[in-house]
Structure 1
């Protein structure tokens, strides 16, 4: 099955910290028709069983995108969320902390695809 990639966003932000003080950076946000994908990389080699930071993705109306799957391979973590609505104009990525959520960054979403058959 093939899916269309709608857009890719590369955050300009620097390093982020999880609740354990481990540093990571987000390498890309991919807007696919079937999923919104956030890819990140740990600055230091992760410990066995470290997992990934608990990210939350929302649209501009604070609608939370459900987590579909998380892949952790070496220093990389790839988190698949539900696709963001084509009518949404912004995506916010947050980290769930012991004290609540904290915004990491926001970005604009790709414009709706025009139907070229009409």
Structure 2
């Protein structure tokens, strides 16, 4: 009795399908084990998960309020920073004018003192 190439090919294909089927069964068994573990964790923490989900609405409201507050604070800070150079410039200008006035009066007083003491001498 001889074995034909057709029989060898068919046998090889059958063995390959058995190996692939065994591998798929092992993978599915491992996936089922992981899903059972996840299910156990979810069941153990069902109350905590429910409490966390119930707080989402309040958390989102607080985040929205915080965002609005942060935007308002940023706007106020932006206005204050923009106003600062104007106020600073005004203060420097007033100080410069005061120094010019002081220098002018000091020059007048110096001229008067020079005129009084130069004639007296």
Q: TM-score, normalised by structure 2?
A: 0.15
Name the structure, 1 or 2, with higher relative contact order (CA <8 Å, separation 6+): 1
Q: Which is strand-richer, 1 or 2?
A: 1
Give 1 or 2 for the bigger CA radius of gyration.
2
Compare the two structures and name the one with the higher helix fraction: 2
Structure 1-normalised TM-score? 0.15
